[in-house]
């Protein structure tokens, strides 16, 4: 990057002169909005015709991303105050927020941490018997499960609220990080930060369902790497005791990675689902990238658990399209099957939707969510007094007791 461009035409010496009127620059990383072209010149590259960016504004954008206030005054060695960026103003469109980044990940239905699992997770949500109490299905989910919750009818903006940690986040009041939701009225048990503990909790709700004799089943889902935890074995043991089997649908969404550790080299077994066989369980391994296939397999498994009141272990092979975190990179992974583009192609081939209509839908929802993301960014963080909210068990009781204890500590 320099402080000017070069003239679009060569001069008489086969060179090109300084051209302060227009230049281009490539920016990447550090919180810059990805995949965006900003500003434009006329056809010849002579003059800027759209969204001009001055150098102070560009520097102010970089300063803001580095956490430096662009208006901050610094004193030169001779005592002259100068602003860091010569009165530059950061360009909002160039700054990605974490939530924008997730929304922009192709405008995907899934807002956070699940791109590549939509075909499975959305169908799971559609097939779940939604309601509160043991007569309905319990969901002990994974942090990639936003698709399931959206299919149940959750508000996508709430996921952005949790991502931005604002007080209006209904799942944790702005305290937990992305993907850790809870919806008590639909039996969605809190998605925990320690992975896999959902598997040792699930037999509890299944036992309650078995005793109450209704049609509700317990659905528990986690990733492949997490199955190394003892909680997974706990679920196998407690769900399958002979004569005391529980209505548990155990699901493993196998994306072949635990953060940056590949599946190969970590597993002696070829399929995780095979472990269920040693416990007398029904098992199945499916392609989780095809929603029709998922619909059929999940319906079969759910019917079995619901009518037989016995456990079933289902392993769905899925893609992980955007890595896990900086540890594994967060760019789109072109090497893996994308269930959405596959499904779109299928629907188009059957004449059920056109490519243009798909594009329009994507553009509409991406735009809607980007606008929501900007609104959410302005919402307030949680107040310190709310620290005791959204904690385990009877929150008022625990909150009051803890507040009283803290107060008497302070009084002393
Ligand atoms: C008990 C526990 N150990 C480690 C971690 C850190 N951790 C978070 S996600 C993850 C990998 C999980 O991989 P997998 O179960 O395959 O799920 P995926 O993200 O691939 O869906 C790990 C090790 C954690 N959150 N909790
Ligand atoms: Mg995994």
Residues 67-86 have pLDDT tens digits of: 777 788 888 889 888 888 88
Neighbours of ion ligand 2 (CB under 5 A): 223-225, 255, 257
CA of 35 to the centre of ligand 1 (A): 29
Ligand 1 neighbour 101 (Cβ under 6 A) = no
Q: Which CATH number is associated with domain 108-377? A: 3.40.50.970
Q: What is the token pair recorded at 330?
A: 């967060």
Q: Is 115 near ligand 1, meaning CB less than 6 Å away? A: no
Contact present, 75 and 64 (Cβ < 8 Å):
no
Q: Give me ligand 1 centre to Cα 393, in Å.
A: 25
Q: Give the burial string for 53-75 (b: 16+ CB within 10 Å, else e).
A: bebbbbbbbbbbbeeeebeeeee
For ligand 2, the distance from its centroid to the CA atom of residue 115, given in whole angstroms, is 13
Atom of ligand 1 nearest to the CA of 253: 21
pLDDT at 333 (0 to 100): 79
Q: Which residue's C-alpha comes closest to atom 1 of ligand 1?
A: 194
Ligand 1, residues 145, 201, 222, 259: which to mutate, most atoms within 8 A of Cβ? 259
- In order of 159, 164, 278, 375, 396, the CA distances from 174 in angstroms are 10, 7, 42, 15, 18
CB environment 12-37: b (16+ within 10 A), e (fewer)? eeeeeeeeeebbeeebeeebbbbeee
* Ligand 1 contact via 121 beta carbon (within 6 Å): no
Task: Determine which residue's CA is closest to atom 13 belonging to ligand 1.
Answer: 258
Q: Domain segments of the chain: what residues?
A: 1-96, 108-377
pLDDT tens-digit series, residues 92-138: 778 766 545 555 444 444 455 678 899 999 999 999 999 999 999 99
Give me the pLDDT at residue 195, please. Answer: 94
- Look up the pTM and report it: 0.76
248, β-bridge pairs = 218
- Of ligand 1's listed atoms, the one at least distance from the Cα of 195 is 26
CA 179, CA 159: separation in Å to the nearest integer? 7
Q: Kindly give the parts of the chain with pLDDT less than 70.
A: 1, 96-113, 325-330, 392-403, 406-407, 409-412
Rounded to whole angstroms, the Cα distance separating 5 from 28 reads: 19
Signed CA dihedral, 337, 341, 343, 345: sign only: negative
- What number of residues does the chain have? 412
pLDDT of 83 reads: 82
Q: Is 193 in the pocket of ligand 1 (CB under 6 A)?
A: yes
How many A from CA of 155 to the centre of ligand 2?
26
């Amino acid at each position: 990057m320099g402080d000017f461009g070069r003239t679009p035409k060569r001069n008489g010496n086969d060179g090109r002169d300084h051209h302060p009127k227009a230049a281009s620059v490539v920016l990447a990383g550090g919180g810059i909005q990805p995949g965006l072209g900003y500003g434009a010149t006329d056809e010849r590259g002579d003059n800027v015709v759209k969204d001009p960016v001055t150098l102070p504004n560009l520097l102010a954008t970089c300063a803001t991303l580095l956490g430096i206030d662009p208006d901050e005054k610094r004193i030169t060695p001779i005592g002259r105050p100068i602003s860091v960026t010569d009165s530059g103003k950061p360009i909002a469109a160039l700054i990605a927020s974490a939530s924008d980044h997730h929304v922009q990940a192709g405008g995907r239905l899934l807002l956070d941490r699940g791109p590549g699992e939509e075909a499975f997770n959305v169908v799971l949500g559609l097939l779940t018997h939604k309601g509160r109490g043991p007569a309905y299905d319990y969901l002990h989910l994974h942090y990639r499960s936003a698709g399931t919750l959206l299919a149940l009818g959750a508000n996508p903006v709430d996921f952005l609220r949790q991502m931005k940690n604002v007080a209006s986040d209904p799942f944790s009041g702005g305290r937990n990080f992305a993907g850790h939701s809870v919806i008590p009225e639909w039996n969605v048990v809190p998605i925990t930060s320690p992975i896999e503990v959902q598997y040792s909790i699930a037999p509890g709700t299944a036992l309650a369902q078995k005793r109450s004799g209704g049609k509700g089943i317990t659905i528990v889902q986690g990733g492949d790497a997490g199955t190394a935890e003892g909680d997974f074995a706990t679920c196998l043991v407690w769900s399958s005791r002979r004569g005391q089997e529980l209505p548990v649908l155990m699901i493993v969404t196998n994306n072949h990675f635990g953060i940056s550790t590949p599946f190969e080299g970590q597993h002696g077994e070829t399929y995780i689902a095979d472990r269920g066989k040693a416990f007398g369980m029904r098992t199945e391994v499916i392609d989780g990238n095809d929603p029709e296939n998922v619909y059929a397999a999940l319906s079969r498994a759910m019917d079995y658990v619901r009518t037989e009141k016995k456990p079933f272990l289902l392993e769905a092979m899925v893609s992980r399209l955007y890595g896990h975190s900086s540890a594994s990179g967060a760019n789109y992974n072109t090497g893996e099957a994308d269930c959405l583009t596959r499904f779109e192609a299928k629907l188009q081939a059957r004449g059920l939707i056109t490519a243009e209509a798909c594009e329009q839908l994507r553009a509409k929802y991406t735009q809607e969510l980007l606008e929501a993301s900007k609104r959410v960014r302005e919402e307030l963080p949680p107040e310190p007094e709310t620290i005791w909210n959204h904690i385990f068990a009877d929150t008022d009781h625990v909150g009051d007791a803890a507040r009283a204890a803290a107060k008497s500590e302070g009084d002393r």
